[in-house]
Amino acid sequence: MMHPELSDVEQLLAVLKESLRISVCMKRVSVQPRLIFSFQEGSGLRIVCSETIWAFCERSYKCLRLCLLLEKQRFRTQTVSMSYTTASTPSQSSTLVLTFIPRRIPGTLASLSFLNCTVVGADGCTPYFHIVSQYSQLGYAQSPSMTLFRTNRGVTVASIEWAQTSGPVVHIPAMHPGSREPVSRQRVDGWLNRSPDGSYRAMTVYGGQYAWVLQSDVYCMYVWNEHQRSDIPQLLARVERGGDNLVMEISADALRAGLLETTTVAAMLLYSRP
């Protein structure tokens, strides 16, 4: 592997330092040099990156910046004594909490699956969505052919076609006649597009860009704009396992942006692939 010139490294770090307002120094640990990022808002706050300086250089500027922003967000969230922590994450009162309660495939003894589940509110009773899958018989096994997302009134708000030779296809149609489609019919791996280094999945809804990032077994969804100069990306939703269930928190900003259905579909896909 060709190592980049140190001058190229320093030039890239200088750009990051200016845009994120962080101080950067290089420290040699063992054989390989590593990077230390120190945030200037408080004393003694720093992150020692686990990857070598060469691995960081091989990432694109976009991936580098996102990783640093998310580390900064995580560090701030964990530092409860800092006054601005509550400003970076939605309060409990402004967050909708939904729980995915999985069911077994009808007529089988198969394991619980989020391909068949009920999405309920914080009271554990009020249903928001019913996720129902249709299956086709392949030898002795059943394979999903279609997954539908339906409201309590039976209205289909999204669908996933699994039996496509090119890969699963997702479609989230317009909620009202003449309105814009949140997600046009397209391949799942194109809609939840994995970044080159695998650190996040990019998602486009209504033309807006978002990023799903796995952090300590929790998927977090952020507003993502590579040209934005904000210190901290806006956290819109988080999804994590709670026993056999999935628990998803969606901010009021995400609800106002019409992201309830798309976030529900993305959460199911992130945690359930046949």
Is 82 inside a domain boundary? no
pTM of the model: 0.65
Task: Provide Rg for the chain, Cα atoms.
Answer: 21
Looking at residue 94, its pLDDT comes to 75
Same domain membership, residue 187 and residue 52: no
pLDDT at 192 over 80: yes
Query: pLDDT for 100-130, tens place per residue?
Result: 999 876 666 567 789 999 999 988 889 999 9
Domain holding 16, by residue range, is 6-65
Same domain membership, residue 112 and residue 55: no
Query: pLDDT for 13-59, tens place per residue?
Result: 565 555 555 554 444 333 344 444 444 333 333 333 433 443 444 44
Same domain membership, residue 103 and residue 25: no
Residue 241 near residue 217 (C-beta atoms within 8 A): yes
What total number of domains does the chain contain? 2
Query: pLDDT for 129-152, tens place per residue?
Result: 999 998 876 544 567 889 999 998
Same domain membership, residue 197 and residue 162: yes
> What three-state secondary structure class fits 74?
helix
Looking at residue 127, its pLDDT comes to 92
Nearest alpha carbon to residue 126 among 95, 156, 99, 147:
99
Same domain membership, residue 61 and residue 102: no
